[in-house]
Amino acid sequence: MDLQAYFDRIDYRGGTEPTHETLTALVSAHVRRIPFENLDPVMGVPVIDLSSAALSAKLVARRRGGYCYEHNNLMRDVLCALGFGVERLAGRVVWMSPEGMDGPPRPQTHQALAVTIPGSDQRYLVDVGFGGQTPTAPIPLVPDAVQQTSHEPFRMREHGADYVVETMIGQRWRPLYVLAMQPRPLIDMQVGSWYVSTYPESNFVVGLSAALVTDEARWNLRGRNLAIHAGGSTERVRFGDAAQVCAALTERFGIDLTGLGDIEATVAAVLDT
């Protein structure tokens, strides 16, 4: 792990001691500089290699983004190198599901992190890869403790032996995912990443998504539709064609599209999914 290259990528100039201040600053910088995106699955490229070398090459050196397995394993490598205690956790996504918490169990296709600061028993949820609703700060792994972030408040709610991660949209708490507390090895994450990047009905295979956080807003792209959420209001932009979408990926989200083949033709095929 080339830490300096990572710090340059996220424009981080803060401390490197394994403290709560450092953890908070790194999460904040990461989500503002490295976008969430699923271009590889859309292009038919499985995301299987979650090694530090592969993630650094893609997200840092090539200035691409990625999805949860890539973002959170990269963050894990950084935090471990700095001396934090880090465990991988798996979650079942219920966000935007019509059935929400009431439907049948969904697959564990999301990765997050449990982070411990040296000298403390307090664990924090760190998740820099949840797309449009990515938490912008560490969240205490304590039931019902509300954590105000630079954007929305978040909390953890007990759900049997698991936790439900929730955020407040408007005046209502909404569930994002059910998080299992059992630490998972890398192989489990590789299996999950292979599944969501190759399964023919996966949202990551059939539809284009990108997301990025700014100081004032959340930028969420789905197909040809861009939503900019800021201060309780939403601006919506509908792009006319794939060329405009690709321009937005480059200019608004900062994604380097070189080396991806005929990206415009592929994007055109999934614009309305």
CATH number at residue 151: 3.30.2140.20
- Cα separation, 254 vs 160, in Å, equals 41
Q: Is residue 77 part of a domain?
A: yes
Q: Which structure tokens are listed for 86? A: 């880090």
Domain around 106: 3-204
Report whether 40 contacts 197 (CB < 8 A).
yes
Q: Is residue 45 part of a domain?
A: yes
- Given this model, what pLDDT does residue 101 score? 65
Report whether 38 contacts 208 (CB < 8 A).
yes
Helix (H, G, I), strand (E, B) or coil at 99: coil
**What is the count of structural domains for the chain?**
1
Q: Is residue 269 part of a domain?
A: no
Q: Render each residue's pLDDT in the chain as its tens digit; 273 residues.
A: 899 999 999 999 999 999 999 999 999 999 999 999 999 999 999 999 999 999 999 999 999 999 999 999 999 999 999 999 999 999 999 987 656 666 777 889 999 999 999 999 999 999 999 998 999 999 999 998 888 888 889 999 998 889 999 999 888 899 999 999 999 999 999 999 999 999 999 999 999 999 999 998 999 999 999 999 988 889 999 999 999 999 999 999 999 999 888 999 999 998 876
Q: Is residue 224 part of a domain?
A: no
Full DSSP string of 124-189: EEE-S--GGG--SS-EESSBT--EE-SSSEEEEEEETTEEEEEEEETTEEEEEEEE--S-B-HHHH
Per-residue model confidence as pLDDT tens digits over 133-190? 999 999 999 998 888 888 889 999 998 889 999 999 888 899 999 999 999 999 999 9
- Cα separation, 41 vs 160, in Å, equals 34
Catalytic residue list: 68, 110, 127
Q: Is the pTM of this model over 0.85?
A: yes
Report whether 137 contacts 147 (CB < 8 A).
yes
Q: Is residue 251 part of a domain?
A: no
Cα-based distances in Å from 194 to 63, 202, 222, 263, 266: 22, 11, 22, 21, 20
